A and B are shown apart, each in its own frame.
Chain A
Amino acid sequence: MNAAPQLALAAHTIALAGPADFAGWREAARRLAMEGVEAAEIAWIVEATADRTRLPVTLPRKGEGNAVGGTSTIDALPGRDSSPSPLRGGVRGGGKLPSSLDGRDGERSRSLLVPRDFVERAEAVICHCDPQRFSFLYRMLLRLQNEPHLLRIASDPDIRAFEAMEKAVKRDIHKMRAFVRFRRIGTDSGERYVAWFEPSHFIVERNAPFFVRRFTGMQWSILTPYLSAHWDGATLRLGPGGSRSDAPADDGAEELWRTYYQNIFNPARLKPKAMQAEMPKKYWRNLPEASLIPQLIAGADEAAKEMVARMPTTPAPHHAKVQSKHWPVRDGGGRNDATDGAEQGAATIAELRVQAKGCHRCPLWRDATQTVFGEGPEDAEVLFVGEQPGDQEDLAGKPFVGPAGKVFDAVLDEAEIDRQKTYVTNAVKHFKFEPRGKRRIHAKPNAGEVQACRWWLDQELGLIRPKLAVALGATAALSLLGKAIPVTKMRGQVMEREDGLRVFLTIHPSFILRIREPDEKEAERARFLDDMKTVKRLMAG
Chain B
Amino acid sequence: MATLSTREKLAILSDAAKYDASCASSGAEKRNSAKTGGIGSTEGMGICHSYAPDGRCISLLKILLTNFCIYDCSYCINRSSSNVRRARFGVDEVVRLTMEFYRRNYIEGLFLSSGVIRSPDETMGELVEVARRLREEENFAGYIHLKTIPECSDDLVEKAGRYADRLSINIEMPTDEGLNALAPEKRPDTIRLSMASLRRKLEDFAEPTLKTKRTRRFATGGQSTQMIVGADAASDDTILATSARLYGSYRLKRVYYSAFSPIPDSSSALPSKKPPLMREHRLYQADWLMRFYGFQQKEILSGAPDGMLDLAVDPKLAWALRNRARFPLDVNRAPRELLLRVPGLGTKAVDRIVQTRRHRRLRLEDVGRLTASVAQVRPFIVAEGWSPGRLTDDARLRERLAPVPRQLALL
Contacts and interface: CB of A to CB of B under 8 A. Distances in A.
Contacts of B267: 312
A432 B97 CA distance: 47
A265 B266 contact: no
Contacts of B359: 149, 152-153
Contacts of B38: 216-217
B377 to A, nearest CB: 14
B3 interface: no
B212 interface: no
A253 to B, nearest CB: 5
B362 A275 contact: no
A335 interface: yes
Interface string A193-216: 101000000000000001011111
A336 B33 contact: no
Contacts of B275: 268-269
A27 to B, nearest CB: 30
Interface in B172-188: 176, 180, 184-185, 187-188
Contacts of B290: 437
B244 interface: yes
A269 B277 contact: yes
A180 interface: yes
A366 B175 CA distance: 9
A178 B411 contact: no
Interface size class of B (residues with CB under 8 A): 35 or more
A263 B14 contact: yes
Interface stretch (B247-255, B313-321, B396-404): B247-255
Interface in B32-48: 32-34, 36-41, 43, 45, 47-48
A195 B105 contact: yes
A67 interface: no
Question: Max chain B CB contacts within 10 Å: which of A233, A272, A306, A308?
Answer: A308
A326 to B, nearest CB: 4
B336 interface: no
Interface string A231-261: 0010000000000000000010101110111
B58 interface: yes
Contacts of A272: 53, 55
B213 interface: no
Contact of B261 (A212, A233, A269, A273): A269
Interface string A300-322: 11001111111011011011001
Interface in B155-208: 176, 180, 184-185, 187-189, 192-193, 195-197, 199-200
A269 B359 CA distance: 47
B101 interface: yes
Contacts of A152: 355-356, 358-359
A269 B370 CA distance: 33
B297 to A, nearest CB: 7
B326 interface: no
Nearest to A325: B70
Contacts of A420: none
A279 interface: yes
A294 to B, nearest CB: 9
Contacts of B56: 266, 269
A104 interface: no
Interface string B61-92: 11000000010100000001111000000000
B106 interface: yes
Nearest to A315: B81
Contacts of B249: 367, 369, 394, 435, 440
Contacts of A174: 45, 47
B265 A289 contact: no
Interface stretch (A29-37, A115-123, A181-189): A181-189
B81 A308 contact: no
B54 A437 contact: no
Contacts of B259: 269
Given A278-B48, A435-B247, A217 B39 contact: yes
Contact of A216 (B33, B82, B369): B33
Contacts of B54: 265-267, 269-271, 274-275
B192 A370 contact: yes
A259 B51 contact: no
A181 B58 CA distance: 14
Given A437-B248, A440-B249, A316 B104 contact: no
A484 interface: no
Nearest to A303: B264
A210 to B, nearest CB: 8
Q: Which 3 A-B pairs have the closest CB atoms?
A: A274-B55, A435-B248, A271-B55
Interface of B: 6-7, 10-12, 14-15, 17-19, 32-34, 36-41, 43, 45, 47-58, 61-62, 70, 72, 80-83, 97, 100-101, 103-106, 139, 176, 180, 184-185, 187-189, 192-193, 195-197, 199-200, 244-245, 247-249, 251, 259, 261-268, 272-275, 277, 290-291, 296-297, 352-353, 355-356, 358-360, 362, 366-367, 369-370, 411
11 contacts: A155-B370, A214-B32, A216-B39, A263-B14, A268-B274, A269-B261, A269-B277, A279-B51, A304-B411, A327-B185, A370-B189
Interface of A: 149, 152-155, 157, 160, 174, 177-184, 193, 195, 210, 212-218, 233, 251, 253, 255-257, 259-275, 278-279, 287, 289, 293, 296-297, 300-301, 304-310, 312-313, 315-316, 318-319, 322-323, 325-327, 330, 334-336, 338, 357-358, 366-367, 369-370, 394-397, 433, 435-440
Given A213-B41, A263-B11, 16 more contacts: A153-B359, A154-B369, A155-B362, A195-B105, A213-B32, A213-B33, A259-B10, A259-B11, A261-B52, A263-B12, A264-B18, A264-B52, A307-B266, A316-B81, A436-B248, A437-B291
